[in-house]
Structure 1
Amino acid sequence: MNVQPVTKRTALALSTLALLLGSACNRTPAPAEPAAPATDAAETNPPAPAAEATTTSNAFDIEKLPVSTATLGEFPYIGLPEGYQAQRPETNPFERVPFWTGDRLEWVEGQVYGARLQAKDGHPFSQLELTRNLQALVESLGGRQVFNGKIPAAALDDIQKSSAAVERVDALGDIYNETADVYVIRQPDRNIWLHVAKSGNQAGLLIAETKPVQITAKALPADALKKSIDEAGKVAIQVQFETDQATILPASKPQLEQVTALLNDNPELRLSINGHTDNTGNASHNLSLSQRRAASVRDFLVTAGIDQKRLESSGFGDSQPAADNNTEEGKAQNRRVELVKL
């Protein structure tokens, strides 16, 4: 191979090239153009609050309503404006009816009035006139409107499954196609709920006053409980709870004290505490409610000193009625707690 001698010109070119390459390798890169500051997505699009928090903040709370001290007169407390009359008014001293609060159905127990309202003497029917008058009257008595609008489909399904859909069809109005107005007058010893909904050229009016049921049943003594369990293997006991809750009311204490005595007198006895409801409302809700109520009775007995190993608790919702759910008397019998021998 013939090697060509390096000329001065070539050497100079190589030297210049080397200097250029070395300069390029050691050069600090020029700073990039400053990027526009990134927009914090949380600033422009703040995260939506958690669903639970939203539900909690918007949940209806009757305790937040002002307490009215107005003198109400006699139930149902509401007079109709001129030009309107009530058709087929019906009052029941103790009933359970639904009111939509804006976030849930409130099943109110107590004295109930229901009627269909219509115009009279040639007066044209006006839902707006009617509701404006009723709202003004409620507010003059210290009450507040808690809802105005269409009741959601899920709530309508629950109402449809209840006896109120049949027994109070006139008072409910056409809630499936029309808007409803709901008001509450909160008094120190009771709450008065009002529901108004249009139905064609008429309207439905439902009023309920919370009132605890008068307990006329007496607590079964321990020996009577023992006799029924020996003969039938089970016995229904008188336990009262807060409406739609698992909190045991004080009136139930005498009966539960007798159950405690039964278990203390018979240390070999083991019991299943079974909760039952009527068929009002959603079946899954009823099942959960019956389970929680049975557990509350079990916990009461454990707190009273009964060994937890001797007790079980179960809930059956409305699946095992003891009476006809088509009557209020039957519903009352179906809302029960049973002691079943294990």
Structure 2
Amino acid sequence: MTPNTARALPLLCLLSSALWLSACNREAPAEPAPPAPVAAPTAPAAPAPEAPVAAPAADFDPASVPESTAVLPPFPFFDIPEGLTSTFDEKDKHVNFDRHFFIAGSKAVAVEGRIFHDRFNLAGDGRKYSDIEFRRNYENAIQALGGKKINTTGYTYEVMEAAGGRDALEKVNHAAPMNPDSPHDIYLLRQGGKEWWIDVSTGSFPLHGHVVVLEKAGMKQSLGFLDAAAMKQAIDKDGRVALYINFDTDKATLRPDAQPVIDEIGKLLDGDATLKLSIEGHTDNTGAAAHNLQLSTARARSVLGALVGLGIDPARLSSKGFGQDKPIADNGTEDGRAKNRRVELVKR
């Protein structure tokens, strides 16, 4: 063996070992992976539940306004603003009893009682007032008396439509501006169980200010009621008789002073055991027609219930409401509206 051969042997051995190790470390080809399982079809997702419908806003509660502890000046509380002159005659400023709409929260509500209203030209020859100055003067004065602002909106089209429409409101609210561009600030003042509702508003063309102060109260009855004999005479002649029975404002609750009329109807029925009556409720056209229909129906039912309470056989009675659909007088005047707010006894 030559020296060169001897030196080459270890190198060959190392190369052989490396090739052998490389062959040993080479991995066998991987087996193909099994196919992924096919997912079972899923049922379509259930539709998301609809969001609950918001409950209608609760009616405004006058009792939410704390009673005032201030010493109140005589009704209607306020003097004429400095530098202004009333555009109303003195005889036209006061109404013994009427109805006026006020916005409580976001809803126009009818309130009845004695009314004072006045109107001023804010851009006239005398002291000129801006819209905000006129309204701010009343705001400060009312707050000093313990009153609280109660409206969150003005006479928007939505508010007017919900109350029976702009025409119906203007028939009741007379000179007060009835349009979305005229700001109204509505306040309530309470003391000793009494309520005073105040509407301060402004209008344009020309700029003017208007104020209404209403002392809530029931009407003092100035017309006597028919007794049982007069009711019978009318029914024998015409088959019906119209009665004016006092209810709480915009409710079907009979007032205590309605009881004498109920007693006379009871005497009428007691005096003729064969008489059967349909008790039919009617309203004026103030407010929404659907509401008036519901109100007249409830009032007729209240009269029926009161007669049953007197011992009248309910089989002799029925009740129905007609709302504003059968007026007997002009709804354009308070006198006509009062005549239309009636309960008729109709012979069956």
- Which aligned runs of 4 or more in structure 1 are off by greater than 4 angstroms? 47-50, 166-169
Q: Could you tell me how far apart the structure 1 residues matched to 2:53 and 2:246 are? A: 36
Mapping of residues 28-177 of structure 1, within 5 Å: 51-52=54-55, 55-56=57-58, 59-88=59-88, 90-119=93-122, 122-157=126-161, 158=164, 160-162=166-168, 165-166=170-171, 168-170=173-175, 172-173=176-177, 175-177=179-181
Counterpart of 2:191, as a letter, is Q
**For residue 309 of structure 1, what is the aligned residue in structure 2?**
315
Return 131-140 or 291-300, whichever deviates more.
131-140
What displacement does 1:218 show? 2.4
| In structure 2, C-alpha distance between the alignment counterparts of 1:207 and 1:326, rounded to whole Å | 22
Report deviation, 1:337: 0.5
Distance 2:81 2:236 in 1: 62
Deviations 1:195-215 (A, max 9, x none): 122212222222211121111
Q: C-alpha offsets along residues 138-176 of structure 1, whole Å, 9 cap, x if unaligned?
A: 1111111112543231332435232x5157443x23533
Distance 1:309 1:174, change over 3 A: closer
**Paired residue type of 2:57:** T
Please give the alpha-carbon distance, in whole angstroms, between the structure 2 residues aligned to 1:122 and 1:115: 17
Task: Give the letter aligned to residue 85 of structure 1.
Answer: T
1:193 maps to 2:197: yes
> Which of 201, 214, 238 is the aligned partner of 1:208?
214
How far 1:290 sits from its partner (Å)?
Answer: 0.6
Equivalent position amino acid for 1:220 in 2: L
Q: Secondary structure at the match of 1:51?
A: coil
Q: How do 1:192-271 and structure 2 match up within 5 A?
A: 192-200=196-204, 201-271=207-277
- C-alpha separation in 2, matches of 1:133 and 1:108: 24
In the aligned structure 2, how far is the partner of 1:161 from the partner of 1:244?
19
Alpha carbons 1:102, 1:146 under 8 Å: kept:
yes
Shift, 1:327, TM fit = 1.8
- Aligned CA RMSD, in angstroms, stands at 2.8
Alpha-carbon distance, 1:122 to partner: 4.6
Q: Can you give the 5+ residue segments of structure 1 that lack an aligned partner in the other structure?
A: 1-19, 25-40
Check conservation: 2:103, 2:154, Cα contact below 8 A: no
Q: How many residues align?
A: 302
Three-state SS of the structure 2 residue aligned to 1:161 is: helix
Paired residues of 1:263 and 1:306 also in contact (CA < 8 A): yes
Higher Rg of the two aligned structures: 2
Asked if the contact 2:278–2:319 (Cα under 8 Å) also holds between the matched residues in 1, the reply is: yes
- Give the secondary structure class of the aligned counterpart of 1:196: strand
Compute the TM-score of the two structures, normalised by the length of structure 1.
Answer: 0.79
Most deviating of 245-254 and 134-143: 134-143
Which digits, 9 at most, give the CA deviation of each residue in 1:286-318, with x for residues without a partner? Answer: 111111100110111112211111111011111
TM-score by length of 2: 0.78
Residues 215-235 of structure 1: per-residue CA shift (max 9 Å, x gap):
122232222211111111111
1:274 aligns with 2:280: yes
CA shift, 1:48, in A, is 7.0
Separation of aligned partners in 1, 2:193 and 2:88: 29
Question: 1:111 deviation in Å?
Answer: 1.2
The C-alpha deviation readout for 1:38-77, integer Å capped at 9, x for no partner, is: xxx99xxxx977522x613xx3110111112444333321
Quote how far apart the aligned CAs of 1:85 are: 3.4
Aligned residue in 1 for 2:6: none
1:334 alignment partner in structure 2: 340
Query: Secondary structure, in 3 states, of the residue corresponding to 2:57?
Result: helix
